[in-house]
Amino acid sequence: MHPRTRRELEALPPEKRAAAEAAIARDAAHRATLEGFEEEQDVIRRIREEFPPSAIIDPDLAAALAILRSERERQGLRLSDVSERSGIDRSTLSKLETGEVANPTVGTLREMARALNKRLIWSLEDAPPPGAPPP
């Protein structure tokens, strides 16, 4: 369990904590039932190999994620450091940085930037005409 989740659970009143822990246990049991579907997992794996997420991800988004990753590395931070600062699971951060998440939320990107003591800036630029090569 993520340390932030553990701290939040410990801060709950006993009755709410018991309900939350029961929900976490139900989720873990549900995940365990999915482990027996090797055939379905093999189909998913083959589809992902044929259509890798990095081939689907928007080039501008890929560039923004690359900037976030290079800033993390420049600051000498590990994924686990950013995870602790942002509350985003380490594996999710890794998937974001490698393009495995094709459509992250603005909130997720904002939390990643905040964890690096940065903020996102949005701007609009003219797009090239249809059919023109990208800049």
Give the model confidence (pLDDT) of 61-82 as tens digits: 888 888 899 899 999 999 999 9
CA–CA distance, 53 with 83 (Å, rounded to integer): 22
- CA-CA distances (angstroms) from residue 130 to 59, 108, 126? 16, 31, 12
The answer to whether domain 52-115 has CATH 1.25.60.10 is no
The domain limits of the chain are 3-36, 52-115
- CA-CA distances (angstroms) from residue 122 to 6, 60, 64, 94, 106? 34, 12, 11, 23, 11
Record the tokens describing residue 35, joined without a space.
Answer: 């482990």
Which amino acid is located at 54 in the chain? S
Confidence of residue 100 (pLDDT cuts 50, 70, 90): confident
Per-residue pLDDT at 80: 94
Encode pLDDT of 44-55 as tens digits: 677 767 766 555
CA–CA distance, 130 with 61 (Å, rounded to integer): 20
Instruction: Tell me the whole-structure pTM to 2 decimals.
Output: 0.56
CA–CA distance, 121 with 110 (Å, rounded to integer): 10
Per-residue pLDDT at 36: 62
The residue to which tokens 């701290």 are assigned = 7
Asked whether residue 59 carries a pLDDT value surpassing 70, the answer given is yes
Q: Where are the beta strands (DSSP E) in the chain?
A: none
